[in-house]
Structure 1
Amino acid sequence: MIRVALDAMGGDLGPRIAFDGAVEILSRYPDVVITIYHFPNPGLELPAPHERLSLIACTDVIDGDEEIVLSLFRRRNSTLYQSLSALAQRSSDVVVTLGNTGAMVALARHILGVLRPKLYPALIRELYSNPLRCLVDLGANVHCPPSMLVGFAELGAAYIEALSDEKPRVGLLNVGVESSKGSAVIRETDRLLASKIWPDYFGYAEGTELFDGDKNVIVCDGMVGNAVLKASEGLLSFMMSKFKGVDGVSSLFETFYQTERRHGACLVGVRGNLVKGHGRSDLSAMIGAIEYGIDIARADLYSAIEARLCS
């Protein structure tokens, strides 16, 4: 059985999205059990009893706009802390949350631990599923020295190896492919990656190579990655709205959105499987984020990456 710990309190639309998503997942996957961590609300109707669904009421919620301060690590009764603790205790196989990204990363490092010293956890987003290609980092780390970006390349390459038959081909996102382009940090990262035996490094990647080309691991700092991702999502939504109702075109965009992109991002580099869904997720996105979590739990992604990077 795949055991999912679901933090119900992080999304903008409230816990109902998590409740309904969990019920739908249980109807689709007979080998999945879900534990929902929620904050009791007298006006909120809980899901109907199910033999593979458990509800754990918590007394605290970490809001989306809260800053990362020391007191965060003492809030053991929050839904996010409790779901991550279940993963650390191996009573669940994956955590899925729509909550505060900074809090999730900080608590995951604190509760689960990192795979190895000085290897910073990163958020990975799949840009395309067949063949698999991904972008790393998406916002777990904003200020990134060269050594951190090299670690992102390793995490992304291990992710590709664990979840596909593809060979990792790393590219470093830059303003151009010429050797003179980019900041001092980017140029030093390029030098370090070029000197490594693994993963295979294919040089700089421009923005035009995000969704197509020979590089399937695109590396950047979290500020750039987050901006790139949200700009791409915004453009897709804009195009879908503009072509809504146009025969063929609109259905093509909808098919791409539904089948070629997993919902959410995966935090890699910690000792456990963890999916971060978008705070604005609707029901279909919530279901997609849980399905993503099920997929990485089946692949035992965390263990595969640990074996690749720490053996």
Structure 2
Amino acid sequence: MIRVALDAMGGDLGPRIAFDGAVEILSRHQDVVITIYYSPSFDLALPIPNERLLLVPCSDVVGCDEEIVLSLFRRRNSSLYQSLNALAQKSSDVVVTLGNTGAMVALARHILGVLKPKLYPALIRELYSNPLRCLVDLGANVHCPSSMLVGFAELGAAYVEALSQETPKVGLLNVGVESTKGSAVIKETDALLSQKTWPLYLGYAEGSELFEGDKNVIVCDGMVGNAVLKASEGLLSFLMGRFKGVAGASSLFETFYQDERRHGACLVGVRGNLVKGHGCSDLSAMIGAIEYGIDIARADLCSAIEARLCNEALESGE
């Protein structure tokens, strides 16, 4: 059985999205158990619990706009803390949340720990699923030195190897492919990646290479990655609205949006499987995020990435 810990709090549309999403998922997957962590302060009709749907009331909720302060780590009764703690205690296989990204990353590092010292967790988003193509980081880390970006390349490559038959080919997002372009950090990262035997590094990538080309792991800092992702999704939504009513066009956009873009992001680099969905997720997006979590739990993604990183460390003598 795949055990999902679902943080029902944090989404813009409230816990009802999580409740309805969980019920739908259980109707589709007979080998899944979902535990919902929620706040009873919301006056909503609860789903009926059964042997595959458990409800855990929590007295605290981490707001989407809260800052990361020391008191966050003492709020053990929050729905986010409780769901992550279930993962740490091995009573769940994956956590899915729509809540505060910064709080999720901070608590995940605190409760679960990291896979490797000095390796910073990163958010990965699949731009395509077949063939697999990823963007990393999406906002878990905003200020990134070169060593951190090299770690993102390793995490992204291990992710691709774990979930597909593709060979990871890393590109470093830059303002151009010429060696003279880019900040000092980007140039230093380029030099470090060029010295490594793994992952395979193909040099700088321009924005036009995000969705097509040889590079299937695009690396950038969290500020750039988040801006790129939100701009891409905003453009897609704009085009869907603009072409609404045009025969064939709207359905094509909707298919791409639902199949390739709505399942959220995966936090890698910590000792556990985590999916962060959009705060503005509707029911379809919530279902997609949970199904994404089920997929990475089935693949035991965290263990696969850890094994790949350990193997590389042994081969390189680190």
State the TM-score, normalizing by the size of structure 2: 0.97
The residue aligned with 2:303 is 303
Equivalent residue letter for 1:66: E
The residue aligned with 1:169 is 169
After TM superposition, give the deviation of residue 262 of structure 1 in Å. Answer: 4.8
After TM superposition, give the deviation of residue 26 of structure 1 in Å. Answer: 0.2
The residue aligned with 1:28 is 28
Whole-Å separation in 2 of the counterparts to 1:244 and 1:29: 33
After TM superposition, give the deviation of residue 287 of structure 1 in Å. Answer: 0.2
Whole-Å separation in 2 of the counterparts to 1:189 and 1:203: 10
The residue aligned with 2:315 is none
CA contact (8 A) 1:33 1:53 kept: yes
Spell out, residue by residue over 1:130-181, the C-alpha distance to the aligned partner (whole angstroms, 9 max, x if none).
1000000000000000000000000000000000000000000000000000
The residue aligned with 2:314 is none
CA contact (8 A) 1:262 1:292 kept: no
The residue aligned with 1:6 is 6
After TM superposition, give the deviation of residue 258 of structure 1 in Å. Answer: 1.5
The within-5 A match list for 1:1-311 is: 1-41=1-41, 43-311=43-311
CA contact (8 A) 1:129 1:261 kept: no
Over 4 Å off, 4+ runs: none
2:267 is paired with a residue whose SS is strand
Whole-Å separation in 2 of the counterparts to 1:260 and 1:100: 23
After TM superposition, give the deviation of residue 33 of structure 1 in Å. Answer: 0.3
Q: For residues 157 and 42 of structure 1, do their structure 2 counterparts lie closer, same or farther at Cα, with a shift above 3 Å needed?
A: closer
Identity %: 86
Name whichever of 94-103 and 255-264 sits farther off.
255-264
After TM superposition, give the deviation of residue 44 of structure 1 in Å. Answer: 1.0
Equivalent residue letter for 1:302: C
Whole-Å separation in 2 of the counterparts to 1:100 and 1:201: 33
Superposed CA RMSD in Å reads 0.7
The alignment of Structure 1 onto Structure 2 pairs a total of residues equal to 311
Whole-Å separation in 2 of the counterparts to 1:48 and 1:57: 14
After TM superposition, give the deviation of residue 42 of structure 1 in Å. Answer: 5.8
Spell out, residue by residue over 1:209-250, the C-alpha distance to the aligned partner (whole angstroms, 9 max, x if none).
000000000000000000000000000000000011111111
Whole-Å separation in 1 of the counterparts to 2:277 and 2:261: 12
